[in-house]
Structure 1
């Protein structure tokens, strides 16, 4: 039998003195076929005796390990495949089972003749004869062993949201486990261009980041140093590497799916030279695994920022601000110190947004966010609540310092700033709540600072106010009023009163419908108090539609009963004229109540007339086309009315009562009244003088041609039935 021919398949070995019978031709043919089949296998097949001495190897063994038959026959497999990192205990276990003639299977790290490593699966099967021969089959499982990292531990860590540093360390350890000649590290490429070491479990902490890593991050391609001692760029780390027995370093970029360099994977080898193909495969897999982990961390970070930080300004949002405030508040409980919570709200921000566009408004908010943090200091927590609202929690801030900070903030906000292509002049209202006097929890402090901010805004804005107890009382009352107003709107708790408007000769020109609300517990609530409340809590549009409905219903009832009220005027809010369905609603009401459109007069303020909302002028022109009369309320108190009168279909102007009250006292007021009357006359528009209370006022207006008068001299605003009685009494006299 030759070294490459398989042994004859005899049940017993021949006696030493008896020659073996020569095989016949058929048997020789089968042996050749068997030998060819074994040689074609990718596995290494070895026939050993009980003492583990090799009797036969196939060509697959030679291809796998590089040993020729003449180099292998008579030797033990362990002597051919073991290397510097082969596990001795595994070899001993294989040898013991082999000598005992037991079948066995193990995985171990082996080495080829050229010294390159490979992972092996060794399966030993006894032939069953008395000669103790065993067949050993060696299978190269290097690729499977490498991908075991991906399919096993690392993928498990990624799926179960393990921390980034722990996942990176796992990658390093698993690569070192399958390639014990390596020490592995992973560094992350930060946004500022620096590298941060994430994991290097086999290296001492003082080793740091390899000198090749910054080059890899900058160039985006591998840097392989075969001899650290011979490369001048590695001079600083050569001594450390030598002390650890490291001779070479190969570093590879970790890239995202878009090609961005996320970090660097480094292999530190105990042997000089270039990486083997196996090392390159390990590097390829390690890059992929690390990219998965780093991209997952980036996605997690982006989601965290989206969930807890404002996208526009980068400041903590409402949820994160409250969370960040918990620690300083807890610290203040243990070590008492004053703190101030400032609630900053820009004045007239909506107007800026509408007039200059979102780009300018967003630019202003970003700029203010930056300066707020600068002024408040590094210890302060600054956040954006919503829209144009910012909040600041400032530790170690007594009341006098809070007042100074508010003044600085107001000055900073008021400074002209160029945003885009325009110069913006802004102002703000600031409310301040002090810890612990105004609350110990963040929610209470926010609520009280918000109330103080609203007080500052109600007083005209561009100022700051500290929280006081009466603000809380007023806020509770305000909530009660809002709830009751909603209930009254749903269940008929509101009423319209009517004030007559008379021609100069005493004939009825019409009536103005005025909204009244009698609170079930607080009595009569003046419109000046509940109308702004309705505007702020979103009730103004339904309230305006209720007024329209009720006025049309009452006018139709009067007409049906023969009570000659020519027209009813009513004042709608500015927001109502912005509603796209306003004209449709008015047309439907007139048709349902069988009223001529001219019987309805809608009063608008100068603010409505000057609105830049495109829906407003469109609605005004459509109402005029419908036949509804439009009246300009409080004429003379604004500054742009004359320039807009010719653009809009105004039928009537109402002279403000503040001028009427000065008749006989202020010559300038009298001159202004005469000017308004002449304007109305020249433009062909009726002028209604409201607030007439004395005979002197009436006489002055009549003598100077005022066509329509309204005021307490004739009658206050009356409920519908009282208005009817007033009409009847006038007709009877």
Structure 2
């Protein structure tokens, strides 16, 4: 308490109060204002005459307390209500003064409004820094840490005291931190503003953490560095998903088998989503579950699910697959979906299961992806993020697996009978003859040809012939031992391969085959009798490789036909007459080539979209003065065996170029001309030079010539052959893959060889309209070709129905007897003259079909 008894001194005291910088307010014991200095007038905006004699409460907003209740000797901040309605803050200190027997209260009020505002701002900033989940690091001008927020401590485990004065890069970098990223950070920090980097950092405990860093600089007025503010976000989970996606895609690119990819996905997911057991199931064509991968679940559990039919109350996975939606079961013990299956899961400690359908692009549910939990629960947002990514990866892997399976089916199996084709047969023989564990073990090769099969096609039609082939194939399969194999080479030719089989065993099988086919076959409404001629060759006595073995079996088959058909013959060196006939034919062919007695006929290829000419295929024809017309199927293999095929191919190229030049000179637009060459031509490195010389000599644009590659070229993986093919294409000449789909071709070569055109074999075309599988296979071939940017041409179009199906399937072009047979050049020119430019052929076909 201050005592002021002297009047003069009191006057001085009041004058001092009046001059004080801080507001001074005096009240009597009742709280009535008796003094209000100039500073108080400025602070409150009231004149002293407006407040003197009034209660002190008029100076503060209601509800903020009574100033009279302030404690003497203590300082407190009070809100101040100005006359103009504005609010200010004042720091109030109160003293009690005794004068002339009276006691007064003297209050000094200092304006602290700006201090309160700054303090509030700092408080809010501290909330922003410490309550955010983003990590904040602030360095000084020396790039050493001066501040880290709470999120930093929670993420990395360091307190501010542990990191103050340290460089962030050295503190957080570790074994797998990219040095290049660190270098970028050092170079750009303090120079650039607002740049981003992603890098691996390490916590105090050594845990690896991926962060996305945003760095900003704060400069002094003179432009020197004052602070660096770095904001970090934890992106570890996203990086884990990205790494999984990258690894799965890499595995797909390396053709890793589907079960291995599925197991890898499960292992990786279980590592990043702790506490879950992962399972991937497939759904087969019959709607049954087939385990694919569940590495952390007991094998007997997966076996119990194998073959389980999907349905509306079939656990989590069976129900998810049936409904096509995710199914969450948080308590296996009580959920009705698991009533029939909980005895499988509960003994294993599995309490909950969440299953999501794996949907392919066509909407089909191909499988399920499931999480099992040991506690009763549902998925977390992180689980949902992981599963969303994994179901897409699984769908991609399954689609690729199905595509490979389908392509393998096209490449190695006959689409009509389902039997292995020639390519698969070659693989099988190679595997047997090169097996070190079965060296020189006898192998019997039986070459079968249906007797008079051509008569069936000619009299009853190709569709009946095809159904007959299917029935024959089924009966042949019934004669197989577990180790045997039967394949269809094409047409009516079949081959049996009998491992560990000597001559006696081969005779027994041949007799069984003849007996099995002797019973009449039912083909639709017809009952047909069939017989076969069988040629037998033995490994290693009759051949040490697949070509020789098959060739000798083929020769023996012709001997069986010559012996009256319906029987079998072994290959023997004494087959002189047959060999002599072949020698005579070979000599005649050599003479025909020397005398230019061969000729080319040209078969038009029409575009399906408008019926206009796309080009022509040059087909070799030979008519002997005494032997008559000799089919290419007979003399071309002979030319290959006798070494004439290369000269014949060169003759075809030369004749074609000369004919193209003649057509160009006559103003006849022929499009492109396709020429067939054998695989032997592409083993010669001078083939590109030969073609280039012929094109130059006849002034033929290279784009007017297309070379048709045989399946053996596609299967030839020799470097010289591949280089020759690419060199031919580099000339600007087109490359066409002939007879695609017959099973010879290696589909993987489509992507490594520069093929521009794909020809669908006539065996597919003949089945269109009668066989849904043939149509599906044809559609697959068209899509494969067009997806690779190739022109797709169908061969052997004989009916209007086939033409319109091909048109509907968007096959770009077709050729066949329906459109035109192969014609000599003069006849083709006449045909072209009669073939209207307005595509009347296509219009006619459209009208006929609509009728």
TM-score (ref. length: structure 2)? 0.45
Deviation digits for residues 70-116 of structure 1 (CA, Å, limit 9, x no counterpart): xxxxxx6589x6xxxxxxxx745788963664426687999xxxxxx
Aligned match for 1:235, one of 311, 322, 342 = 342
Q: 1:463 to 1:297 in 2, by over 3 A?
A: same
Taking the aligned partners of 1:486 and 1:289, their CA distance within structure 2 comes to 59
Corresponding residue for residue 200 of structure 1? 294
Per-residue deviation, 1:145: 3.7
Corresponding residue for residue 276 of structure 1? 380
Q: 1:490 to 1:237 in 2, by over 3 A?
A: closer
Aligned length: 449
Matches within 5 A, 1:558-569: none
Per-residue deviation, 1:299: 0.7
Matches within 5 A, 1:390-469: 390-469=494-573
**2:489–2:495: 8 Å Cα contact kept in structure 1?**
yes
Deviation digits for residues 623-677 of structure 1 (CA, Å, limit 9, x no counterpart): xxxxxxxxxxxxxxxxxxxxxxxxxxxxxxxxxxxxxxxxxxxxxxxxxxxxxxx
**1:373–1:382: 8 Å Cα contact kept in structure 2?**
yes
Taking the aligned partners of 1:330 and 1:56, their CA distance within structure 2 comes to 70
Deviation digits for residues 581-639 of structure 1 (CA, Å, limit 9, x no counterpart): xxxxxxxxxxxxxxxxxxxxxxxxxxxxxxx9999xxx9xxxxxxxxxxxxxxxxxxxx
Unmatched tracts of structure 1, length 5 or more: 1-19, 58-75, 82-89, 111-117, 495-514, 518-526, 540-611, 620-733
Aligned match for 1:537, one of 624, 630, 634 = 634
Taking the aligned partners of 1:400 and 1:142, their CA distance within structure 2 comes to 70
Q: 1:534 to 1:239 in 2, by over 3 A?
A: closer
Taking the aligned partners of 2:383 and 2:410, their CA distance within structure 1 comes to 40
Corresponding residue for residue 499 of structure 1? none
Is residue 246 of structure 2 the alignment partner of residue 152 of structure 1? yes
Taking the aligned partners of 1:271 and 1:304, their CA distance within structure 2 comes to 45
**2:514–2:567: 8 Å Cα contact kept in structure 1?**
yes
Corresponding residue for residue 385 of structure 1? 489
Corresponding residue for residue 549 of structure 1? none
Aligned match for 1:165, one of 232, 252, 259 = 259
Deviation digits for residues 188-219 of structure 1 (CA, Å, limit 9, x no counterpart): 33445544433334445555377643443444
Taking the aligned partners of 1:251 and 1:166, their CA distance within structure 2 comes to 21
Corresponding residue for residue 649 of structure 1? none
Deviation digits for residues 340-380 of structure 1 (CA, Å, limit 9, x no counterpart): 21100112222212322222111111221121121122211
Taking the aligned partners of 2:417 and 2:506, their CA distance within structure 1 comes to 24
Is residue 118 of structure 2 the alignment partner of residue 24 of structure 1? no
Corresponding residue for residue 635 of structure 1? none
**1:325–1:381: 8 Å Cα contact kept in structure 2?**
no
Per-residue deviation, 1:330: 4.5
Unmatched tracts of structure 2, length 5 or more: 1-109, 140-145, 173-198, 204-208, 220-226, 306-314, 598-622, 637-797, 800-815, 822-851
Per-residue deviation, 1:253: 1.5
**1:207–1:240: 8 Å Cα contact kept in structure 2?**
no
Taking the aligned partners of 1:218 and 1:331, their CA distance within structure 2 comes to 46
Aligned match for 1:179, one of 270, 273, 276 = 273
Corresponding residue for residue 717 of structure 2? none
Deviation digits for residues 305-339 of structure 1 (CA, Å, limit 9, x no counterpart): 21111111111111211211234445597476543
Corresponding residue for residue 295 of structure 1? 399
- The secondary structure found in structure 1 opposite 2:479 is helix
Per-residue deviation, 1:258: 1.2
CA RMSD of aligned residues (A): 4.8
Q: 1:398 to 1:163 in 2, by over 3 A?
A: closer
Matches within 5 A, 1:358-369: 358-369=462-473
Aligned match for 1:189, one of 283, 299, 311 = 283
**2:135–2:151: 8 Å Cα contact kept in structure 1?**
no
Taking the aligned partners of 2:332 and 2:365, their CA distance within structure 1 comes to 24
Taking the aligned partners of 1:449 and 1:425, their CA distance within structure 2 comes to 24
- The secondary structure found in structure 1 opposite 2:527 is strand
- The secondary structure found in structure 2 opposite 1:384 is strand
Q: 1:491 to 1:281 in 2, by over 3 A?
A: closer
Taking the aligned partners of 1:483 and 1:94, their CA distance within structure 2 comes to 94
Taking the aligned partners of 2:367 and 2:161, their CA distance within structure 1 comes to 47
Per-residue deviation, 1:289: 0.8
Q: 1:376 to 1:171 in 2, by over 3 A?
A: closer
Q: 1:360 to 1:124 in 2, by over 3 A?
A: same
Per-residue deviation, 1:223: 2.9
- The secondary structure found in structure 2 opposite 1:375 is coil
Per-residue deviation, 1:404: 3.0
Is residue 600 of structure 2 the alignment partner of residue 487 of structure 1? no
**2:138–2:229: 8 Å Cα contact kept in structure 1?**
yes
Aligned match for 1:477, one of 580, 585, 589 = 580
**1:341–1:432: 8 Å Cα contact kept in structure 2?**
yes
Taking the aligned partners of 2:569 and 2:461, their CA distance within structure 1 comes to 30
Matches within 5 A, 1:667-682: none
- The secondary structure found in structure 2 opposite 1:24 is helix
Taking the aligned partners of 1:409 and 1:280, their CA distance within structure 2 comes to 59
Deviation digits for residues 263-299 of structure 1 (CA, Å, limit 9, x no counterpart): 2211122442122233223222211110001101111
Matches within 5 A, 1:579-590: none
Deviation digits for residues 475-529 of structure 1 (CA, Å, limit 9, x no counterpart): 54334322211233355699xxxxxxxxxxxxxxxxxxxx998xxxxxxxxx6xx
**1:103–1:123: 8 Å Cα contact kept in structure 2?**
no
**1:154–1:167: 8 Å Cα contact kept in structure 2?**
yes
Taking the aligned partners of 1:24 and 1:309, their CA distance within structure 2 comes to 88
Per-residue deviation, 1:141: 3.6
Per-residue deviation, 1:147: 4.5
Per-residue deviation, 1:228: 3.2
Taking the aligned partners of 1:491 and 1:532, their CA distance within structure 2 comes to 18
Taking the aligned partners of 2:326 and 2:462, their CA distance within structure 1 comes to 46
- The secondary structure found in structure 2 opposite 1:484 is helix
**1:365–1:388: 8 Å Cα contact kept in structure 2?**
yes
Matches within 5 A, 1:43-442: 44=134, 77=151, 91-92=156-157, 98=163, 101-103=166-168, 137=231, 139=233, 141=235, 144-145=238-239, 147-149=241-243, 152-191=246-285, 193-203=287-297, 205=299, 207-208=301-302, 212-231=316-335, 232-242=339-349, 246-330=350-434, 334=438, 337-442=441-546
Taking the aligned partners of 1:299 and 1:452, their CA distance within structure 2 comes to 40
**1:108–1:121: 8 Å Cα contact kept in structure 2?**
no
Corresponding residue for residue 62 of structure 1? none
Moved more, 390-399 or 433-442: 433-442
- The secondary structure found in structure 2 opposite 1:537 is helix
Taking the aligned partners of 1:361 and 1:125, their CA distance within structure 2 comes to 80
Taking the aligned partners of 1:179 and 1:96, their CA distance within structure 2 comes to 34
